[in-house]
Structure 1
């Protein structure tokens, strides 16, 4: 491969086959990724404001005791779980250009509402966070479903990585924003700085939702986007023919029989249910709680310093996702090995409590690598389920759903606020899920390759070209061959 070709593969993933396809990719990259990334940015911005508010005065002002902070997060997670599969199935019924922005407006209004409702830890707080979780659950798996409908396997990794990084950027920005708000707005109009965070987050969210109503293109089968010509709409569908995403139908009972009769739902759900728990360092703001518990740091420092972990998470996500598309093998599993090794090292450094403060900073920052597997895992699932759009919707939603089923109780057991600053149980749990992630990663890799072999054997029995099938089985590099094998298995 020449240098020029390598650079093009690095930029595009699969190199567009024509000038028309290159122009189409530029358009869908801009219009799909711009809205999805902004949507996910505000999703994480509005989700992480509770953790930033907690360490910036909310705990003291509301007289929060024990594990009330964990309980608020658990209620949010319950709403997230309940909304996940229904939201993804609604994309089969309601155009995504309508459904996504509607959910976007809903959680933006609820975020704004939190500013006034949080006067004490009461049932109304739990209700707001529950419904906010339901609305926000539309974004992550829904977008991965949309990405899998527009992009081929060789294009998915990088786009998934960019999308996932936008959510991490929301977390990064939330900490910086909270510190700036606390410094400049604390006490203005009689409101605490942490209350202003909810107001400003809500204000940021609503215009982006309006942008989605105007430009989001739905899926190739039914897009009417004003910026795509008729030829480009046809090309968008033609280039995805092998993925069987040309039509969207209402779910039938046979869908669930089909999903439960294959290994894909079980394997992919188990993979993210376990590997997603390696993100507990960031999702529970353990570094912020650690800094607050050991003392000696200002509110601004407690908000700023954890941003280093998020920055490393963004870098790891983008580098790993780009690498998986750049390599011809499309291997996703090495990324999961990388993040598991990083979280094991980080946990050991924190468990050795006598270690220097600098080493603990290094450990928390290194733990940001745990987010690298998120984009890669969902790109892998999109690739595995490429031949069945409805199955893909269920599998993607279920992956995140089962991870959040564990998240609903996992922090209450292993990362309680009262366990700060050491989180000893949590670090041992982190080592355990990291090792388990390695085992399940091997299992999914094995099952995928077995599916290829079975598909090759059955295809050969029908009299098709044996050379084509051997090539597909040996290197797994042909998306079209891989999809055909999946269909016949």
Structure 2
């Protein structure tokens, strides 16, 4: 029979054992997730608006041609901001850094409404990408600093879904703006979209200044007591040791925050984690190309017969499938005893492979193409899972974790800098045949790299378990030796006689 505790665990992760921990978890859920989700919502809202603006009049107003749309999407994925932003969280309070970066990209979003040519859009999108680089990997670092492994997957899924909701909302918002504001005060509907997005962004940044709690080791949040601050750190260390195998070297670095050093670089580059996790997301992240390049919107626009509002609305179904898949997969991985994340990547890879095969059959019915594009929305489910997995793998070393998480997104953006231009150029609409073959290859490569990371993690876990057992055996032998020595003294009476004398 399904009990309330079991249901609660399935829906929200591990249930705290004490009332104090339940109260703490409720507080950090509210204040961390509320700000991080709102921040990421505006992040994706301000990123995906170009895709909606492009099919809603921007292409004609700015005389965009060829692959210029793809370039405008690529420049916002600024890989140069990933690692610096995450390292800044080791030096500057996240409560200051996150909202400050959000204000910058919010102002730049306002500026996008006034561009006169595509070159100005490129410049704004580049600096917007540098400032937005703080959000995704930085938040995953923060989540890994506050939540136990059994709580992390669901929270990562909720956070990732908030960005997808931003994408979904952008399409719906653009349709409404085009219908009601197009031409008002002499502005095109797509220009009004940037203005409205900026208005939504800035108040959320101010909210972050007041409520975001930093990390457990440095938090001074007004809503946490001294006891809760201490509990936030101790429960995390206990939770990690309950669910993860942490090496002795990791444990000496646990909770380390501060300026980066050469010792940190040697530590990170001397392990497999940076290489394995970076390779995993560099490849698997490209499975999202269906949604991130708005292929369905470009397809609908190219084949004709659909209104501007329909071209904005229909692709929202891809995002909706992504949201549902992300939440269901995150719930499942937290509910399993092993906390295994790899099955989600297998599901994602198989979904995009099947979708690509369906779209390669160009004479297939329109309904099958809709099904294929919506099925491809499952690709979004791998994002939260991959970063939750990396958080678990690097659980014992905060500084390494910050760099690994940033590097994962950085290398994905490095691939994404040329991938859409080569395989998904706007000039290939509506068929994108090269892109479909590339997606089949990407899905297959994701399966191989997922197995590679799983194998390395399993090997490391077994090695640490073996060393732990050997260490306990050695300790037990020393204890037995001391006991034998004491018993021999007691038997011959030498030690007792010396003490009595």
TM-score, structure 1 length as denominator?
0.93
Report deviation, 1:464.
5.0
Q: Does 1:173 align with 2:178?
A: no
Report deviation, 1:374.
0.4
Q: Does 1:120 align with 2:120?
A: no
Report deviation, 1:134.
0.3
Determine if contact 1:240/1:246 at 8 Å carries over to the other structure. Answer: no
Cα 1:103–1:464 change in 2 (3 A) is farther
Q: Does 1:432 align with 2:441?
A: yes
Q: Which residue of 1 aligns with 2:79?
A: 81
Distance 2:74 2:2 in 1: 52
Distance 1:456 1:307 in 2: 47
Q: Which residue of 2 aligns with 1:56?
A: 56
Q: Which residue of 1 aligns with 2:136?
A: 140
Distance 2:456 2:24 in 1: 34
Q: Alignment partner of 1:239: what SS?
A: helix
Q: Which residue of 2 aligns with 1:321?
A: 330
Cα 1:247–1:390 change in 2 (3 A) is closer
Cα 1:465–1:13 change in 2 (3 A) is farther
CA RMSD of aligned residues (A): 1.4
Structure 2, unpaired ranges of 5+: 241-250, 477-501
Distance 2:399 2:256 in 1: 10
Q: Does 1:156 align with 2:165?
A: no
Q: Does 1:409 align with 2:415?
A: no
Q: Which moved more, 1:1-10 or 1:156-165?
A: 1-10
Distance 1:32 1:45 in 2: 20
Determine if contact 2:12/2:331 at 8 Å carries over to the other structure. Answer: no
Cα 1:261–1:305 change in 2 (3 A) is same
Q: Does 1:371 align with 2:380?
A: yes
Q: Which residue of 2 aligns with 1:308?
A: 317
Cα 1:293–1:442 change in 2 (3 A) is same
Q: Does 1:195 align with 2:195?
A: no
* Regions of 4+ moved over 2 Å: 1-5, 241-247, 463-467
Report deviation, 1:174.
0.1
Q: Which residue of 2 aligns with 1:461?
A: 470
Distance 2:107 2:118 in 1: 20
Q: Which residue of 2 aligns with 1:339?
A: 348
1:145-201 deviation line (CA, Å, top 9, x unaligned): 000000011110000000000000000000000000000000000000000000000
Distance 1:329 1:463 in 2: 24
Q: Alignment partner of 2:113: what SS?
A: helix
Distance 1:50 1:404 in 2: 18
Distance 2:309 2:122 in 1: 27
Q: Which residue of 2 aligns with 1:35?
A: 35
TM-score, structure 2 length as denominator?
0.91
Report deviation, 1:466.
11
Q: Which residue of 1 aligns with 2:205?
A: 209
Report deviation, 1:125.
2.4
Report deviation, 1:2.
5.9
Distance 1:246 1:284 in 2: 38
